[in-house]
Amino acid sequence: MPSKGTPGMKAALLETGRSHEPFREIIDRFGLLLGRQAEARDSLEPVDLGAFAPDEDHFLSGEPLVNFLDIQLLQGPFRQAAARVWPVMGVIFPSLAESLALLERKLTDMPELLSQCLQAVAQGDGEALDSAAARVGVTSDFLLMALGVAYAPCIAAQRQALASKAPVELWRKPYCPVCGSDPDLAVLENHPEPSEFLVSKSGEIWHHCPVCTQRWRFVRMVCPGCGNQDHETLTRFTIPESPREHIYACEQCRQYLPCLDLVEQASKIDFDLAALKAVHLDAAAQARGYLPISPAPWAALGFAEEQTKAS
Ligand SMILES: [Zn+2]
Ligand SMILES: [Zn+2]
Q: pLDDT 10s digit of each residue in the chain, 311 long?
A: 344 455 566 665 555 444 446 789 899 999 999 999 999 999 999 899 988 999 999 999 999 999 999 999 999 999 999 999 999 999 999 999 999 999 999 999 998 999 999 999 999 999 999 999 999 999 999 999 999 999 999 999 999 999 999 999 999 999 999 999 999 999 999 876 655 555 556 789 999 999 999 999 999 999 999 999 999 999 999 988 888 999 999 999 999 999 999 998 878 899 999 999 999 999 999 999 999 999 998 998 878 654 444 43
Q: Which of 265, 264, 247, 246 is nearest to 256 (CA)?
A: 247
**CA 224 to centroid of ligand 2, rounded, Å:** 7
Tell me what pLDDT residue 240 has: 83
Residue 109 Cα distances to 122, 233, 252, angstroms: 22, 52, 47
Tell me what pLDDT residue 10 has: 63
For residue 280, what are the contacts with CB-CB under 8 A and spacing of at least 6?
Answer: 23, 239, 308, 310
Query: Using N-to-C axis directions, what is the helix angle for 97-109 and 75-92, rounded to 10°?
Result: 160
Residue 295 Cα distances to 144, 181, 231, angstroms: 11, 8, 25
**CA 229 to centroid of ligand 2, rounded, Å:** 9
- In the CATH scheme, what architecture does the domain 171-301 have? Alpha-Beta Complex (3.90)
Tell me what pLDDT residue 95 has: 93
**CA 132 to centroid of ligand 1, rounded, Å:** 23
Which ligand is located closest to the Cα atom of residue 152? 1
Element holding 143 (H helix, E strand): helix 140-156
Q: Which ranges in 22-139 belong to alpha helices (H)? A: 22-43, 56-60, 75-92, 97-109, 111-123, 126-136
Q: In angstroms, rounded to a whole number, what is the distance separating the alpha carbons of residues 73 and 50?
A: 8
For the chain, the domains span: 9-162, 171-301
Burial of 203: CB neighbours in 10 Å, binned 0-12, 13-18, 19+ = middle
Which ligand is located closest to the Cα atom of residue 168? 1
Q: Residue 131 carries which DSSP code?
A: H
Query: Using N-to-C axis directions, what is the helix angle for 75-92 and 22-43, rounded to 10°?
Result: 150
Tell me what pLDDT residue 249 has: 97
**CA 165 to centroid of ligand 2, rounded, Å:** 31
Cβ < 5 A residues, ion ligand 2 = 223, 225-226, 228, 250, 252-253
Q: In angstroms, rounded to a whole number, what is the distance separating the alpha carbons of residues 206 and 302?
A: 26
**CA 212 to centroid of ligand 1, rounded, Å:** 4
Tell me what pLDDT residue 187 has: 96
* Amino acid (one-letter) located at 235: T
Find out whether 146 and 89 touch, Cβ atoms under 8 Å: yes
Tell me what pLDDT residue 197 has: 57
Tell me what pLDDT residue 15 has: 52
Tell me the residue ranges of DSSP E strands in the chain: 185-189, 204-208, 215-218, 234-239, 242-250, 255-261, 291-292
**CA 181 to centroid of ligand 1, rounded, Å:** 5
Q: Residue 240 carries which DSSP code?
A: T
**CA 284 to centroid of ligand 1, rounded, Å:** 26
* Amino acid (one-letter) located at 168: V
Tell me what pLDDT residue 266 has: 78
